[in-house]
């Protein structure tokens, strides 16, 4: 008889509550859990493919080793023996910095994945730890550390009467940054909030799903988000709409910001941003006149060439309007598995996010951003001889060949490694196909996990510890276990928040997680003990109340920090792009793709196989081409071909394609079946953010011609 058990999805970071139907040891169905107090039965099309993901023919169920005749099966433990021996020789000959570890988006879906990757790199002593965070949204890390943070937390979407989304389409992406729309039944939740009186502003060059619901849609010209935001700040300051008492008590640098935005009066800002002046002014007044609610961004604006400047202005807007929880209120996003910090009506002093004192790359003056190296130096670190050259790369749940800038350069880099190890559920990923070893891990319904990744969106103290639902194929272990086994063989350690991981005998997942999140409000072992029938555990007593701030505390927001006002002035004075590349390519999310993994599931491929170039019908006539024709898209760095698709919701002059697609081994003739990667249009060493190293990966100037 079928058995139905409770768990949660780990296909993406939303971690939706699921009912899992199991029959004869196989998952036959997953669906949203209607009794869950947060998700209320919601699930998405990608999450509902977990049965096929686990049992379909694309699933890698045995580890692989490359030989003269191609890949052959190898026992995972035997593979780890060989990999450890090769790593040991590389470290002995070239030092620990010769080894790099990359944790991709899929690595985050195992609750121990990224934590163990960081611990493994620290145990080796290598500076070369990378994650997908520095590919798409490093500016959020930078601004959080650079400008200080409010210890009581920002307003949540649940309490907002106004919301401002910039380049964020959470109905599709299931991504809601702090204060934004949480990924819990996002369409229904947004419509309910609008019905209750929420005012919604959306800035996006296309009429996205959320933009179609907005009170004000600002179809901003790609890459010109700073002009739009500077104009809005100008209006708020000139009309005195900001929270004067909050600014006087907690904010420095207002004069520097006022000086910078003086060059962006509404008419000039609107012209630069490509929006109507009256709409820009209306948006400024609508946001400032709200009582609660924040400005939030998606990944697109950060990838559009001025990521840190955009995020600085977003932070400035939230700070000017005082969009933070005050003394006596419940603190936002209580978090159960995150280290406990004081929740006070006070500004935590800023931290230095990068630069002097941080491990340095050999390239472009870039250093660690927080705990990791910018992804966009990895290819050069591999290709360039000398002390510190990366010779071995371990990829965990990622696909650098399709996700990193300059695909051909990354292909050369991967080919030049002495050792490439991919931990992946799919041997057909572009990176895995080029690996020396492909290690097959357990999948999500075959392992224990906690909801630590998604708790940045929970507005109540909600926690989950799920058990394994089914047995994994024989011989498979988890990603963190593979790293433990390598560290054990190399004689290195895994330093964790709660102390060194035991290295004499591999600990249980529960014990590892307890060490990894030590200092949190409730340890995973406690949540596991409190779990009944697989349901989420709610801890109302752990929801902190914002305490009074220390009147002598020195912390203040500094809007002049990091030289950002001067950068805004320089941005306003910069020459506009030449007409050689008259279109701007922007990134987009898809309901039927999961970043660089998961595209090969039959139900998802049935929806779309290629990576279309969405264009306004007027632009199709301008090229000229028809809907479904192949077009050639060229930038200063390279070119791709794509299938043109008419999209009336696009801003004219803008083309939109998904990021992280394609394989350089598949030529243009395979475009309809496989699609192409937009990273072939960008270079990490020509236009990049000088703070984070992030490449221009959206708002790319391109020319389009018939193919």
DSSP string, 263-325: T--HHHHHHHHTS-HHHHHHHHHHHHH-SS--EEE-HHHIIIIIHHHHHHHHHHHHHHTT-B-
Quick one: which of 561, 585, 562, 620 has its CA closest to 700?
A: 585
Residues 285-290, mean pLDDT to the nearest whole number: 98
The confidence score (pLDDT) of residue 517 equals 97
Spell out the SS3 assignment of 146-185: HCCEECCCECCHHHCCEEEEECCCHHHHCCCCCCCCCCCC
Domains and CATH numbers, the chain: 3-55 (3.30.200.210), 64-131+374-450+461-541 (3.40.50.740), 139-349 (3.40.228.10), 577-706 (2.40.40.20)
What the block records as the tokens of 463 is: 């926690």
Spell out the SS3 assignment of 218-279: ECCCCCCHHHHHHHHHHHHHHCCCCCHHHHHHHEECHHHHHHHHCCCCHHHHHHHHCCCHHH
Return d(Cα 605, Cα 585) in angstroms, integer: 24
Residue with tokens 């207002």: 254
Q: What are the beta bridge partners of residue 584?
A: 654, 701
Return d(Cα 640, Cα 637) in angstroms, integer: 11
Quick one: which of 597, 704, 690, 695 has its CA closest to 657?
A: 704
DSSP label of 411: H
Is the model's pLDDT at 595 over the cut of 70? no
Residues 92-98, mean pLDDT to the nearest whole number: 98
The confidence score (pLDDT) of residue 92 equals 98
What the block records as the tokens of 432 is: 């895995």
The 10s digit of each residue's pLDDT in 231-264 is 999 999 999 999 999 999 999 999 999 999 999 9
Rg (CA), the chain: 25
Q: Is the dihedral of CA 480, 481, 484, 486 positive or negative?
A: negative
Give the number of other Cβ atoms within 10 Å of residue 183's Cβ: 23
Return d(Cα 119, Cα 515) in angstroms, integer: 11
Find the range with the poorest average confidence among 95-99, 424-428, 531-535: 424-428
SS3 531: coil
Is the model's pLDDT at 606 over the cut of 70? no
Return d(Cα 325, Cα 161) in angstroms, integer: 14
Contact criterion met (CB below 8 Å) for 133 and 13: no
Bridging pattern class, strands 462-463 and 449-450: unpaired
Is the model's pLDDT at 299 over the cut of 80? yes
Instruction: For residue 622, report the phi and psi dihedrals to the nearest 5 degrees.
Output: -70, -30
Residues 508-531, mean pLDDT to the nearest whole number: 98
Is the model's pLDDT at 216 over the cut of 60? yes
Contact criterion met (CB below 8 Å) for 236 and 284: yes
Is the model's pLDDT at 541 over the cut of 90? yes
Q: What are the beta bridge partners of residue 19?
A: 6, 31
What the block records as the tokens of 30 is: 């997953």
Is the model's pLDDT at 661 over the cut of 60? yes
Contact criterion met (CB below 8 Å) for 344 and 152: yes
Whole-number mean pLDDT of the chain?
92
The confidence score (pLDDT) of residue 145 equals 78
Is the model's pLDDT at 351 over the cut of 90? no
The confidence score (pLDDT) of residue 575 equals 73
């Amino acid at each position: 008889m079928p058995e139905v058990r409770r768990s949660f999805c780990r296909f993406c970071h939303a971690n939706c509550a699921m009912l899992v139907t199991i029959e004869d040891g196989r998952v036959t169905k997953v669906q949203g859990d209607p009794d869950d107090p947060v998700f209320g039965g919601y699930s998405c099309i990608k999450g509902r493919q977990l049965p096929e993901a686990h049992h379909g023919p694309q699933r890698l169920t045995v580890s692989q080793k490359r030989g003269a005749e191609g890949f052959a099966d190898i026992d995972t433990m035997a593979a780890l023996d060989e990999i450890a021996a090769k790593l040991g020789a590389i470290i002995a000959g070239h030092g620990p910095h010769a080894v790099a570890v990359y944790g991709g988006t899929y690595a985050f879906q195992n609750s121990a994945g990224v934590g163990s990757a960081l611990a493994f790199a620290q145990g080796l002593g290598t500076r070369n730890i990378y994650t997908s965070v520095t590919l798409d949204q490093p500016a959020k890390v930078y601004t959080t550390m650079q400008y200080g943070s409010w210890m009581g937390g920002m307003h949540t979407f649940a309490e907002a009467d106004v919301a401002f989304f910039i380049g964020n389409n959470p109905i599709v992406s299931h991504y809601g940054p702090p204060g934004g729309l949480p990924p819990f039944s996002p369409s229904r939740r947004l419509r309910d909030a609008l019905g209750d009186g929420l005012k919604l502003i959306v800035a996006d060059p296309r009429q996205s799903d959320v933009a179609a619901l907005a009170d004000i849609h600002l179809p901003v010209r790609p890459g010109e988000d700073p002009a739009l935001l500077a104009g809005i700040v100008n209006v708020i300051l000139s009309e005195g709409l900001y929270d004067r008492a909050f600014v006087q008590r907690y904010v420095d640098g207002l004069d520097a910001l006022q000086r910078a935005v003086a060059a962006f009066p509404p008419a000039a800002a609107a012209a630069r941003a490509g929006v109507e002046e009256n709409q820009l002014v209306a948006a400024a007044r609508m946001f400032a006149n709200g009582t609660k609610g924040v400005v939030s961004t998606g990944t697109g604006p950060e990838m559009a060439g001025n990521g840190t400047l955009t995020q600085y202005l977003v932070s400035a807007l939230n700070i000017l309007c005082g969009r933070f929880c005050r003394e006596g209120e419940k603190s936002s996003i209580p978090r159960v598995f995150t280290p406990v910090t004081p929740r006070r009506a006070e500004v935590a002093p800023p931290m230095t996010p990068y630069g002097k004192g941080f491990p340095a790359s050999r390239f472009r003056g870039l250093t660690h951003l927080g705990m990791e190296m910018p992804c966009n130096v990895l290819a050069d670190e591999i290709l360039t001889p000398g002390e510190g050259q990366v010779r071995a790369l371990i990829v965990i749940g990622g696909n650098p060949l399709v996700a990193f800038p300059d695909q051909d350069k990354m292909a050369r880099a991967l080919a030049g490694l002495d050792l490439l190890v991919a931990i992946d559920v799919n041997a057909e990923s572009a990176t895995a196909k080029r690996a020396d070893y492909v290690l097959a891990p357990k999948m999500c319904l075959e392992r224990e996990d906690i909801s630590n990744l998604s708790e940045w969106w929970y507005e109540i103290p909600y926690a989950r510890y799920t058990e394994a639902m089914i047995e994994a194929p024989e011989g498979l272990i988890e990603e963190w276990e593979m790293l433990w086994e390598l560290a054990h063989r190399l004689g290195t350690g895994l330093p964790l928040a709660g102390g060194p991981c035991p290295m004499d005998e591999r600990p249980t997942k529960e014990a590892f997680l307890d060490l990894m999140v030590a200092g949190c409000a409730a340890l995973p072992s406690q949540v596991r003990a409190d779990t009944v029938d697989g349901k989420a555990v709610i801890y109302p007593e752990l929801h902190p109340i914002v305490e009074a701030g220390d009147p002598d505390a020195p912390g203040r927001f500094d809007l002049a920090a990091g030289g950002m006002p001067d950068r805004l002035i320089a941005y306003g004075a910069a020459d506009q792009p030449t007409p050689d590349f008259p279109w701007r390519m922007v990134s987009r999310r898809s309901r039927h793709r999961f970043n660089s993994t998961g595209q090969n599931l039959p139900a998802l491929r049935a929806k779309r196989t290629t990576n279309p170039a969405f264009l306004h019908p007027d632009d199709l006539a301008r090229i000229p081409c028809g809907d479904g024709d192949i077009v050639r898209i060229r930038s200063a760095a390279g070119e791709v071909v794509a299938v043109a698709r008419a999209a009336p919701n696009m801003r004219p002059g803008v083309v939109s394609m998904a990021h992280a697609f394609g394989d350089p081994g598949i030529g243009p003739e395979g475009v309809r079946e496989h699609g192409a990667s937009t990273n072939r249009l960008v270079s990490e060493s020509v236009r990049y953010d000088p703070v984070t190293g992030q490449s221009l990966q959206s708002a790319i100037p391109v020319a389009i011609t018939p193919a």
